[in-house]
């Protein structure tokens, strides 16, 4: 009988990082089913469409402006039914979302093994990122197998007494997805969104791409971010492109404070290939995203990270990513420096990626073949 693997995810970034793995696993000897919690709805569906993954179970739990406890409660009760029906031998979860920690805990309650993709990243500050740092630690405590993207993340797990035999260093699956998408774009892939962006963004100017969504930045953090972007927009040789996350706590301040600027383009969240395309056209990226910090170094794009801590220190150490927090002065000064100082720009624009080589999916499959 084939061993049964249930792959679970619910948000946009998890989907980007898990869909290429799903395709990989489907050509193995395991029976693979996909369960999406749909903690995100539209932003998840964009990714499922692009990667042509059709979930076997869709819990459809997203509600507008959901609180963490409502969200976790809905995942717990609905995911339990899937575990009961499919009876997997092992559940694969990803990263640091509520979907990952709750699906891991629910699996543990039913005696089902858990494998954690993107394991071992740490800030050791439970409020930053919030609630992700603790979500990832909880999933790490529960997991039987750990797919650590880097040596640093493996070392974090070893220092917590996780056994070496249960860990394997794989690289991050986001690079597998990114490289596949870059190749697709190189071979001529385009879509309506890309053509639409070409019609209103002036690409003869320097493109600054912005994203933001972290809960710890809601309120004052986002007000500072908007103030900095308004200031940066005074440079008449830049175009700011900002696909605005659908979280109402992001939408409200961004739309209120930035919609009047001629060279700030506030747009809907982009489908993945359009986002990769605009990253590749950008001069600089300003973000609080985890995934974007991992992708941008492959494209040789400097990243200013609007956070005080990062569980992804490798690119900071390599000099291609800089932490600027949500401080008005720091964001504005770091951006001005990169716009005016060519040497400072070239130092950050090195094409070097510590997060993976595009073979993470292979390594995960190999390890599962050995262990199951």
Active site members: 96, 118, 132, 213, 215, 245
The CB-of-215 to ligand UDP minimum distance in angstroms stands at 11
Assess contact for 90 and 117: CB atoms under 8 A: no
CA dist., res. 177 & res. 244, Å (int): 22
Q: Which of residues 346-365 bind ligand UD1 (CB under 6 A)?
A: none
Nearest to 35 by CA among 69, 89, 75: 75
Q: Shortest distance, CB of residue 237 to ligand UDP, whole angstroms?
A: 24
What would the x/- binding string for ligand UDP be over residues 204 to 243, using CB under 6 A?
A: -------x-x-----------------------------x
Identify the sign of the CA torsion 132, 142, 176, 62: negative
Nearer to ligand UD1, 215 or 363 (CB): 215
C-beta of 40 vs 265, nearer to ligand UD1: 40
> Is residue 295 within 8 Å of 351, Cβ to Cβ?
no
Tell me which stretch binds ligand UDP (CB under 6 A): 56-64, 65-73, 150-158, 287-295: 287-295
* Torsion sign across C-alpha atoms 357, 365, 28, 20: negative
By CB under 6 A, the residues from 46 to 105 that bind ligand UD1 are 62-66, 68, 71, 96-98
Query: Segment 119-148, which members bind ligand UD1 (CB under 6 A)?
Result: 131-132
Strand, coil or helix: 362: helix
> Before 131, cis peptide (omega within 30)?
yes
Q: Where are the alpha helices (DSSP H) in 189-271?
A: 192-200, 220-232, 248-258
Give the HSE-up count for residue 332: Cα atoms under 13 Å, Cβ half-sphere.
15
Instruction: Please say which residue, 247 or 332, places its beta carbon nearer to ligand UD1.
Output: 247
- Taking the complex as a whole, the smallest distance from the CB of residue 122 to ligand UDP amounts, in Å, to 15
Supply the minimum distance, in Å, between the C-beta of residue 269 and ligand UDP.
Answer: 4
DSSP string across 259-318: TT-TTEEEEPPPPHHHHHHHHHH-SEEEE--HHHHHHHHHHT--EEE-SS--S-HHHHHH
Residues 19-78 that bind ligand UDP (CB under 6 A): none
- Cβ proximity to ligand UDP, 275 vs 367, nearer residue: 275
Which helix (H) or strand (E) segment holds residue 272: the answer is helix 272-281
Is the sign of the CA dihedral 230, 235, 236, 242 positive or negative? negative
The pair of three-digit structure tokens given for residue 52, joined into one six-digit string: 């042509």
Is 292 a residue that touches ligand UDP (CB under 6 A)? yes
- The runs of H, that is alpha helices, within 27-94 are 42-51, 68-86
The one-character DSSP state at 219 is: T
User: Among 113-121, 221-229, 267-275, 344-352, which window interacts with ligand UDP (CB under 6 A)?
Assistant: 267-275
The stretch near ligand UDP (CB under 6 A) out of 85-93, 229-237, 255-263, 270-278 is: 270-278
Q: Which string of DSSP letters, residue by residue, matches 138-178?
A: HHHHH-SEEEESSHHHHHHHHHTT--GGGEEE---HHHHHH
What minimum distance in Å lies between the beta carbon of 17 and ligand UDP? 7
Residue 270: CB minimum distance to ligand UD1, A: 13
State both tokens at 278.
């605009």
Applying CB under 6 A, which of residues 30, 275, 277, 367 lies at the interface with ligand UDP? 275
290 binds ligand UDP (CB under 6 A): yes
Binding site for ligand UD1 (CB under 6 A): 11-13, 39-43, 62-66, 68, 71, 96-98, 131-132, 213, 246-248
Binding site for ligand UDP (CB under 6 A): 12-13, 16, 174, 211, 213, 243, 269-270, 272, 275, 289-292, 295
């Amino acid at each position: 009988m084939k061993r049964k693997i249930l792959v679970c995810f619910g948000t946009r970034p998890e989907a980007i990082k898990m869909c290429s793995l799903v395709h990989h696993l489907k050509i193995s000897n395991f029976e693979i089913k996909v369960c999406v919690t749909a903690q995100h709805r539209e932003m998840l569906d964009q990714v499922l469409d692009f990667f042509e993954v059709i979930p076997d179970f869709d819990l459809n739990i997203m509600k507008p402006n959901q609180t963490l406890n409502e969200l976790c409660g809905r995942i717990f009760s609905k995911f339990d039914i899937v575990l009961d029906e499919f009876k997997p031998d092992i559940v694969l979860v990803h990263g640091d979302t509520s979907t990952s920690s709750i699906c891991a805990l629910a699996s543990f309650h039913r005696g089902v093994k858990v494998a954690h993709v993107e394991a071992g990243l740490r800030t050791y500050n439970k409020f930053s990122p919030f609630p992700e740092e603790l979500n990832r630690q909880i999933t790490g405590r529960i997991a039987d197998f750990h797919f650590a993207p880097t040596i640093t993340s493996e070392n974090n797990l070893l220092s917590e007494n996780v056994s070496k035999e249960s860990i394997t260093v794989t690289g991050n699956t986001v690079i597998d997805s990114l490289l596949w998408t870059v190749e697709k774009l190189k071979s001529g892939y385009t879509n309506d969104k890309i053509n639409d962006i070409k019609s209103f963004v002036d690409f003869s100017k320097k493109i600054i791409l912005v994203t933001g969504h972290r809960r710890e930045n809601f309120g004052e953090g986002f007000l500072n971010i908007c103030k900095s972007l308004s200031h940066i927009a005074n440079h008449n040789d830049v175009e700011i492109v900002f696909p605005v996350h659908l979280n109402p706590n992001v939408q409200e301040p961004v739309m209120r404070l930035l919609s009047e600027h001629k060279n700030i383009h506030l747009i809907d969240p982009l489908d993945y290939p359009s986002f990769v395309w605009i990253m590749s056209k950008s001069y600089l990226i300003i973000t609080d995203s985890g995934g974007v910090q991992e992708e941008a170094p492959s494209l040789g794009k400097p990243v200013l990270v609007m956070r005080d801590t990062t569980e992804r220190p490798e690119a900071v150490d390599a000099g291609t990513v800089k932490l600027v927090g949500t401080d008005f002065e720091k964001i504005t000064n770091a951006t001005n420096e990169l716009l005016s100082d060519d040497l400072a720009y070239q130092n950050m624009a090195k094409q070097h990626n510590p997060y993976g080589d595009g073979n993470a999916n292979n390594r995960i499959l190999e390890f599962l073949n050995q262990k199951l």
